[in-house]
Amino acid sequence: MRCPYCGADNSRVLESRTSEDGTTIRRRRECSSPACGRRFTTYERVEQRPLMVIKKNQDREEFSHEKLFRGLAKACEKRPIPVEQLESLVNQIERELRLEYEREVPSSAIGERVMEALRKLDGVAYVRFASVYREFRDVETLAREVMALLRDAPERGRTEAPGKAEGQVAPDGQRRPGVSPETDA
Ligand SMILES: [Zn+2]
């Protein structure tokens, strides 16, 4: 596997781990070039029949697991959510979509599912995602969503340890270098 940092052709596998739901193998790799030696992550999963996403303007594009993951990871940036949890969430959403929609799925169905999952997972991530996805036009709409959220989960804000989650999920979905070693799941 080619190193994404320096383009060297070889890397070695440091660790392989199967996801909790058994659908994905995640490998930590290290660039074999002595000048680089940086680490990155690859994923292996069964190739699926393409699922097309119907966008708002009726254009079709192929469903992308990575794109969905990046969207979620961005919403969850600097939140206390382990990257493994995001991965299994994306797997779960994809599985449900493939079961319910055989060939084509409206992008709105994906968005609604992600919002539902984030609402249960993390209030801040939910509002972030919803504000982009629903394109809140005004502060009142946003405020209404936030109030509804607080009403649903009044205990959520108090149980979090502030500042603990810095750097857990990078925008590209990979762990940032120097983050504490992974704990066994
Ligand atoms: Zn390299």
Query: pLDDT tens digits, residue range 67-112?
Result: 999 989 988 999 999 998 999 999 999 999 999 998 999 998 998 8
pLDDT-derived band at 182 (thresholds 50, 70, 90) equals very low
118 vs 168: CA distance, rounded Å: 17
| pTM for the predicted model, two decimal places | 0.57
CA of 86 to the centre of ligand 1 (A): 27
Q: What is the pLDDT of residues 25-62, one digit of tens each?
A: 999 999 999 999 999 999 998 877 889 999 989 999 99
Residue 122 has phi, psi (to 5 degrees) of -160, 120
CB atoms within 10 A of CB 163: 8
Residue 27 has phi, psi (to 5 degrees) of -120, 130
Contacts of 85 (CB under 8 A, 6+ apart): 121
Which tokens belong to 25?
A: 């193998």
**2 with 28: CB under 8 angstroms?**
no
CA of 169 to the centre of ligand 1 (A): 21
CA of 81 to the centre of ligand 1 (A): 28
pLDDT-derived band at 135 (thresholds 50, 70, 90) equals low
CA of 67 to the centre of ligand 1 (A): 24
128 vs 176: CA distance, rounded Å: 21
51 vs 60: CA distance, rounded Å: 10
CA of 32 to the centre of ligand 1 (A): 7
46 vs 18: CA distance, rounded Å: 13
DSSP label at residue 179: P
Q: Does the structure show a pLDDT above 50 at 1?
A: yes
Cα torsion 155, 159, 165, 169 to 10°: value is: -40
